[in-house]
Amino acid sequence: MDIVILAVVIAVVVLGALGGLVVGSRRKKQLPPPPPAAPDITAPPAEPHVGDEAETPRDEPRRTIEEVDLPDGSAPAAVEEPPVVEELPPAEIEVPEPTAGRLVRLRARLSRSQNALGKGLLTLLSREHLDEDTWEEIEDILLTADVGVQPTQELVEGLRERVKVLGTRTPEELRGLLREELLKLVGTDMDRTVKTEPEDRKPGIVMVVGVNGTGKTTTTGKLARVLVADGNTVVLGAADTFRAAAADQLQTWGERVGAHTVRGPEAGDPASVAFDAVKEGKEMGSDVVLIDTAGRLHTKTGLMDELGKVKRVVEKHAPLDEVLLVLDATTGQNGLVQARVFAEVVDITGIVLTKLDGTAKGGIVVAVQRELGVPVKLVGLGEGADDLAPFEPEAFVDALIGE
Ligand SMILES: Nc1nc2c(ncn2[C@@H]2O[C@H](COP(=O)(O)OP(=O)(O)OP(=O)(O)O)[C@@H](O)[C@H]2O)c(=O)[nH]1
Ligand SMILES: [Mg+2]
């Protein structure tokens, strides 16, 4: 028995030793392998290697352009090491659509005005008998499209005269006649260029004003795109300090086309932001500074006074080249009241009619120009970035009466 027990004990010991060897050899296999000969691509090498610049840039936080101190050129820079040329991340700056002929491209957006105004007028004028009732219906159409009382009377008188001398009325003749009379109302001899290039200095200064939600910030952004597309450098002044989101909104527009945005503290003084924007525009040698202002009700005297102050403070630099009043075309006659009050506080030099895509009241173009004696220079025809068009009377009237 003892021999048997001894044999069992020996067997257990031998097996245990063997097992230890196996475990030991397994452990050995788990030791970290020797450093590989090839470089580990997951970690940046401590030192640059030949050909590194051809690799994808390392994930290091990069300085923005503003943070980089440029040598001022007066003192020789101490050259210790060759400068490290940093690759900038690929620019995501958009290239806006060309601005020429935008109104022609966007004319389908005026379809609501076209149906209500242009088509309605042509149908009535084609009636066999143009009696008093028909002329009244024509008047109603014009008034409903917000053309305004005085211009409506002028147009109807003009049409009556000319229709009388026509023998037969072909659709082409009527269309031509209506086109001419509408063009007379809209006006073809006004200077509708947005003044951004004063002769004697840079930058051109444009301020954008209007009541809440008319599309000021959107228009400022779209206008920046138009200017950049035409080869200008643009600085945006976020003088709407009521809401932090307003400056963000403007800055986003600016970033898309590469325009620098100057902003101030929330609830800060809008006049000082506007002043700083022009100052920076001067220092940067920019072509144009666009100042977006907070929406303000024309009925609030304090806010209107503030707007007057913004203008005066900016004019310590130079006179404003343009003060654009942004009016929402869908608000109709109320826009005229706003126009009057804003014009008293800041001299309006141009009108931007926004949201013409969403209304049948395209006639407001005529009424608002009459009210202020100032031309409509730009029209908004949608929320898209390139949906702001220079106003061209011919293209506008053609869009209204269809082709
Ligand atoms: N359909 C259409 N929408 C527009 C047009 N212009 C602006 N909008 C929209 O109108 C809304 C208000 O535009 P904003 O530019 O923020 O207006 P704002 O005047 O700056 O507003 P406040 O700063 O709050 O006074 C946004 O939803 C714009 O997309 C246009 O021409 N057509
Ligand atoms: Mg705004």
Which ligand is closest in space to the CA of residue 328?
1
> Using omega within 30 degrees of 0 as the cis cutoff, is the peptide bond preceding 203 cis?
yes
Ligand 1 pocket residue status of 246, Cβ below 6 Å = yes
Q: Which residues are annotated as a binding site?
A: 210-217, 292-296, 354-357
pLDDT tens track for 44-55:
444 444 434 443
What secondary structure does DSSP assign to 207-218, as a single string?
Answer: EEE-STTSSHHH
What secondary structure does DSSP assign to 116-169, as a single string?
Answer: IIIIHHHHHHTSS---HHHHHHHHHHHHHTT--HHHHHHHHHHHHHHHHH-SS-
pLDDT (average), residues 392-399: 94
Q: In this model, does residue 24 exceed pLDDT 90?
A: no
Q: In this model, does residue 31 exceed pLDDT 90?
A: no
What pLDDT sits at residue 51? 39
Question: Quick one: which atom of ligand 1 is closest to the CA of 295?
Answer: 25
List C-alpha distances in Å: 375 to 113, 151, 168, 178, 190. Answer: 20, 15, 36, 21, 7
> What tokens does 161 get?
């005269």
Q: In this model, does residue 43 exceed pLDDT 50?
A: no
Q: In this model, does residue 191 exceed pLDDT 60?
A: yes
Q: What confidence tier does 105 reach under pLDDT thresholds 50, 70, 90?
A: confident
Q: What confidence tier does 80 reach under pLDDT thresholds 50, 70, 90?
A: low
Dihedral (CA of 20, 23, 25, 28) sign: negative
Higher pLDDT, 358 or 315: 315
What pLDDT sits at residue 87? 58
Ligand 1, residues 216, 218, 242, 387: which to mutate, most atoms within 8 A of Cβ?
Answer: 218
pLDDT (average), residues 384-396: 94
Number of H helices, E strands in the chain: 14, 8
pLDDT tens track for 251-308:
999 999 999 999 999 889 999 999 999 999 999 999 999 999 999 988 888 899 999 9
pLDDT (average), residues 157-178: 87
What pLDDT sits at residue 264? 92
Ligand 1, residues 249, 381, 383: which to mutate, most atoms within 8 A of Cβ?
Answer: 383
What pLDDT sits at residue 222? 96
Q: Which residues are annotated as a binding site for GTP?
A: 210-217, 292-296, 354-357
Q: What confidence tier does 14 reach under pLDDT thresholds 50, 70, 90?
A: very low
Residue nearest to atom 31 of ligand 1 (CA): 380
Question: Quick one: which atom of ligand 1 is closest to the CA of 296?
Answer: 25
What pLDDT sits at residue 137? 96
Residue nearest to atom 14 of ligand 1 (CA): 215
List C-alpha distances in Å: 331 to 211, 359, 373, 389. Answer: 11, 9, 20, 20
> How far apart are the CA of 393 and the centre of ligand 2, in A?
28
Dihedral (CA of 21, 26, 32, 33) sign: positive
List C-alpha distances in Å: 33 to 22, 24, 30, 36. Answer: 19, 16, 8, 8
pLDDT tens track for 116-154:
899 999 999 998 888 999 999 999 999 999 999 999 999
Q: In this model, does residue 81 exceed pLDDT 90?
A: no
pLDDT tens track for 203-214:
999 999 999 999
pLDDT (average), residues 103-127: 89
What pLDDT sits at residue 39? 41
Q: How far apart are CA 31 and CA 29, in angstroms?
A: 6
